[in-house]
Every structure is written in C-alpha cells, then in structure tokens.
Amino acid sequence: MIGTAYAQAAGAPGGSDTLMGMLPIILMFVILYFLMIRPQMKKAKEHKTMIDALQKGDEVVAVGFLGKISKVGTNYVSVEIAPNVEVQVERGGISRLLPKGTIKDAQ
C-alpha cells in the first residue's frame, strides 16, 4: 500500500536563516566601527578642541615648521618660525601643540 506523500515547500520563509545570513555582515560592521571609525572620530574631536584653544605664545608644529604663535585670528594664525620671520597658517594646518620650552631645546 502506498501512503499519502506531502510535498514540502522548497524555500519556505525561515526567519532564523535570514538572520544567520546577515549576522556576519552586521558583526563586521560593528568591528569596523570600534576599530576604525570611533578612534578616528575621537582623534578629530581632540584636534578640534586643541585648535579652538590656541592662544598667543603657544609653541606648535604647523605644516612641518616648529614655531611660536604670535597672533591668533578667526581663520588664520601667525606663527613665528625664526626671529622676525612670521608665516600665516590656517588654523587647521596646526598639527600639534608642544610643551613650553620645546623651541629652545630644539635649537
């Protein structure tokens, strides 16, 4: 005797299969966020804070030059890189703020 056979639908919607398929992509995005995106955002925030806090007399590295800030403007900063030699640098061009006395040690 032959029994009744029931066909199963191939590709029946399975919610857990879809989630398991997307899990590696989601996991890679989370890892990418914590290893690359978040540290870069933190570094950019620290740089902006440093740029906003610049004042006359600070010793800085600007576009590869070591100098002392002589004037602070809204968008530009005057940096004295040698006696009686000043250059205008865009505020974003300041890469580092140095401890006081660094210029004397470098000469």
The runs of H, that is alpha helices, within the chain are: 15-32, 38-52, 102-106
User: How does 24-58 read in b/e, with b if 16+ C-beta sit within 10 Å?
Assistant: eeeeeeeeeeeeeeeeeeeeeeeeeeeeeeeeeeb
* In contact, 74 and 59? CB cutoff 8 Å: no
pLDDT digits (tens, 9 = 90+) for 12-25: 555 578 888 899 99
Structure tokens at 106: 């470098």
What dotted CATH number matches 55-106?
2.30.30.60
Rounded to two decimals, the pTM is 0.71
pLDDT digits (tens, 9 = 90+) for 72-107: 999 999 999 999 999 999 999 999 999 988 888 766
The three-point CA angle 61-36-42 to 5° equals: 50
For residue 13, what pLDDT is reported? 57
CA 5 to chain centre: 62
